[in-house]
Structure 1
């Protein structure tokens, strides 16, 4: 019996439950989970040497422990006691190495749980990427595209569809080459998670935490942050729908300034879906919808710019969030909210309040300039944008309209007493507007109104959809 076979028998005897994949075995015992890497060589990974298994377990812990607090407890040897039997720990020569982790309930893992708070989920991913320093690279994915064509064919996906996907992915990649290279020069290529789907996120103390980052191949995990994020967005859309994916995308962008990532999302999303499709095909799972997603993501969808303005309390942000999943390529439009941009420019969370000096005319001009910059970056990449701000001056409305070729502006209007009640009741929102701010804004003349005015006392969604020539999503 080999040392690993003996170690596996020991772990199975220790456990009350065992989970395994083709590369690892996890023994669940009481409050612990012990992970052992299998001594396999699959070409793209080689775990056949004991020293390499130890190194990669230690690398796995170093990568994941900072982002999943309390989950990773240490790397421990399995050694022989005086009686020759295996034991955890000890000073004698290691027969095998295991990673000790905290055991979590099955519903702690996000592939088995309801949709978590989108803001918290996006914040966790943003923090992971923000902590990773930029790495050398060009962001190119031609090798990944070619490899996935062959792997998909080998897995038995329909050859005609795989070849058509490959040609479309190659063509889009060629068009995106300057964008990917520019993003790499901006520091967007980082040592990322590498396998950021919902099964590799879990709830710890009430918040989402990424874990099980790809540890065995630094090149595979050193990618554009947008490509890393795309795996999660694809998985969210497939499991929870476009609204969920759109909400996470927009919170992620609100935390940083990376509106330009949407230019490459069609390629990144398609690749992530194709990878999952051929994996599922090999394991006998459901692959058809994933392949369909991979194909659909590469089909051009016209981008457009929609702006939503009005006094505080008119429901601008609610309408913007509801319209965004219905506009442009997957996973829907980028929402650029002036309140969130202002908070980011001052280095605080969207929900954190700002003092009065952050709302001077000069400060507001800077916020609108940043909004226009981000809008142009997304629109030039072929994406869709919803701009969300008061837009109380005609020059502000004209300036945002000039950012896009296909433009629609909505001005929301409601009685002042309705707006007072809404603003007074607002909690935990990015807007710092008070009733006093509302009263002051209501006294100002907005100038000539060339945008479509929508009554906002009731739900304006149906009227907005009609104006945009979009199908109704149900009762308004």
Structure 2
């Protein structure tokens, strides 16, 4: 049976054992998904593109099984099984039958025509790429998404040390492979110049980063990742009244695309958010990821991988443009999109210096963490990594961000020893951020002037800009805020009223000349964008 006849059979409702009224399809250059209402069936096309080979029946079976295995790590609710398409011998309304893979394997007399991955069909409007066109992602959803990614990266198998996968040259090859085709269809002077500069920069940065790339593999950061972690491969899935993000459609067809550095995997999501004008959400994702993994050393590689991921987007978009009518309006629009991705890739090659270190000071319940997120969302063009003492403290203590502790654990969590350990770690992480060209917002109580001065001295040593924003509040307001967040359980802090009152005993407020003073009561009503921009010398950013 040829591919055309097979497609016709899968478009026939009689082929399916469950009730089917309407069948629609989603087609890409490598697969066709048949949407039947309750279930979806993904058929791999018999193609060979070099980086992907589905040309034989055996290979399609193998990759269907691998797709199921890999994607059940992050979306078991969606990936249900591999089914065999077998030829029917009796007269019926359909000439194929869909049966379970093990049933086909156990009966060698059956003629298997092909294989499909059976999935639970879900609402396409829940895919993040569509959702972001209509609304912002709230902080809870962003945290859930990051938690899923962290879980995948921490549980994924690390590559074997003797494997070619994850080697520096293996990672460089797909990067340099992007340039020839892009040069063919991006011939305008500006884009051509940017492509040449990106190509030179890629080779220069690779030479400088090669030891770090090798060390990342040795330290276990090259893992069996998702490989295609953009917004259209994450969906908000509702089941039994509970909504959770699911990562789906991870790469199964190419080992080199999947066995990658975890920060390269995350970089795809970041550049997709940034391309859509969601820089603040991207900064939130990166900040949360780093606070969970403490992998701040990965920042030395982030722009290298962000540029690569944007180039991948440019190449894929350009290939799509070449399949459209020559000089058609649609082709010109898609080519312009490809050029915009090249421009994005070029932006990651630029050095950001000097950078800013911004301390947010205030007792528990003053609203520092909310203010930090508002800075990311409300300050146009401002990218920063938030280092939260509450989150760092929890991670160092071996706890999940929202994992609650008993009184005995709380006394250890907020002990003088743990305070010192947390501030020391934050100082180190802030240094790593700044040395790699990233602005940093440090969210902590900073009760003692001595703690603040360590950051002042660090900025002086690194020749970076230091700022202090003090959020003033009173005992009653802070107490109410603490009570509310403990009730809602939507904040990583375990500080209660007792901890807050103890903080007030040791609080050393900054002078007016030392800091920008803001008042918590006002911040609950509006974000003082102009005052913050002027204080941070960001007034010219648009």
Q: Which residue of 2 aligns with 1:321?
A: 373
- Write out the 4+ residue segments of structure 1 that deviate beyond 6 Å after TM superposition: 325-328
1:362 and 1:22 map into 2 onto residues whose CA distance is: 58
TM-score, normalised by the number of residues in structure 1: 0.92
Give the deviation of 1:420 after TM superposition.
3.3
Partner of residue 388, structure 2 = 337
> Following the alignment from structure 2 to structure 1, what is the Cα–Cα distance between the partners of residues 187 and 404?
52
Shift in Å, 1:151: 2.7
2:113 is equivalent to residue 95 of structure 1? yes
Does 1:288 find its partner at 2:339?
Answer: yes
Q: What is the SS of the residue equivalent to 2:387?
A: strand
Secondary structure, in 3 states, of the residue corresponding to 1:10?
A: helix
> Is the CA contact (8 Å cut-off) linking 2:448 and 2:506 kept in structure 1?
no
CA distance in 2, matches of 1:260, 1:401: 22
Alignment partner, residue 413 of structure 1: 472
Give SS of 1:95's match: strand
Q: Higher mean Cα deviation, 210-219 or 373-382?
A: 373-382
Match of 1:382 among 399, 413, 437: 437
Q: Cα offset for 1:424?
A: 3.2
1 CA distance for matches of 2:431 and 2:262? 20
Cα pair 2:358 2:467 within 8 Å, conserved: yes
Greater mean deviation of Cα atoms: 151-160 or 302-311:
151-160
Farther-moved stretch of structure 1 (100-109 vs 146-155): 146-155
Match of 2:450 in 1: 395
Matched, 1:241 2:278: yes
Please say if residues 23 and 37 of structure 2, whose CA atoms lie closer than 8 Å, have aligned partners that are also in contact. Answer: yes
Report matched runs for 1:256-271 at 5 Å: 256-271=293-308
Is the Cα–Cα contact under 8 Å of residues 37 and 53 in structure 1 kept in the other structure?
Answer: yes
CA RMSD of aligned residues (A): 2.4
Match among 137, 154, 159 for residue 130 of structure 1: 154
Note if 1:352 corresponds to 2:403: yes
* 1:461–1:443 Cα change, 3 Å: farther
Instruction: Return the alpha-carbon distance in structure 2 between the equivalents of residues 234 and 127 of structure 1.
Output: 21
Deviation string 1:298-343 (CA, Å, 9 cap, x unpaired) is 1111233221112223222233223346899x98211111100111
Q: Is 1:23 matched with 2:30?
A: yes
**Among residues 364, 368, 374, which one is paired with 2:419 in the alignment?**
364
Q: TM-score, normalising length from structure 2?
A: 0.81
- Report what 1:61 is aligned to: 68
**Distance apart, 1:470 and its partner CA:** 0.8
CA distance in 1, matches of 2:82, 2:429: 45
Flag the 1:128–1:198 CA change in 2: closer, same or farther, 3 A: same
Distance 1:57 1:67, change over 3 A: same
Contact 1:3 1:95 in 2 (8 A): no
Pair 1:331–1:233, CA change in 2 (3 A): farther
Query: Matched residue of 1:301: which SS?
Result: coil
Any idea what the Cα deviations from partners look like across 1:56-85, whole Å, max 9, x if unmatched? 000000000121022111111111122272
Distance in 1 between the 2:118 and 2:98 partners? Answer: 10
In structure 2, list runs of 5 or more residues that go unmatched.
14-21, 322-333
Partner of residue 424, structure 1: 483
Q: Alignment partner for residue 269 of structure 2, among 232, 237, 247?
A: 232
Counterparts in 2 of 1:293 and 1:376: CA distance versus 1, 3 Å = same
Judge conservation of contact 2:468–2:515 (CA < 8 Å) in 1. yes
Deviates more, 1:218-227 or 1:233-242: 233-242
- Work out the CA distance in 1 between the residues paired with 2:34 and 2:436: 47
Is residue 281–residue 287 contact of structure 1 (8 Å, CA) maintained in 2?
A: yes
Distance across 1 between alignment mates of 2:458 and 2:377: 20
390-399 or 165-174: bigger deviation: 165-174
Asked if the contact 2:362/2:446 (under 8 Å) is kept, the reply is yes
Quote the residue 2:496 is aligned against. Answer: 434
User: 2:233–2:247: 8 Å Cα contact kept in structure 1?
Assistant: yes
User: How far is 1:103 from its partner?
Assistant: 0.9
Given that 2:85 and 2:115 are in contact with CA atoms closer than 8 Å, whether structure 1 keeps it comes out as yes
Alignment of 1:161-172 (within 5 A): 161-172=194-205
Q: Specify whether residues 395 and 432 from structure 1 end up closer, same or farther in structure 2 by C-alpha distance, changes over 3 A only.
A: same
Q: How many residues in Structure 1 have an aligned counterpart in Structure 2?
A: 472
Give the Å deviation of 1:225: 0.5
Task: Note closer, same or farther for the CA distance 1:281–1:331 as it changes in structure 2 (3 Å cut).
Answer: farther
Q: CA deviation at 1:453?
A: 4.0
CA distance in structure 2 between the partners assigned to 1:401 and 1:130 by the alignment: 35
Structure 1: runs of 5+ lacking an equivalent: none
Paired residue for 1:456?
Answer: 519
User: Quick check: 2:142–2:284 contact (8 Å CA) kept in 1?
Assistant: yes
For 1:291 and 1:345, the matched residues in 2 are separated by 39
How far does residue 446 in structure 1 lie from its aligned partner after superposition?
A: 1.7
In the other structure, the counterpart of 2:224 is: 191
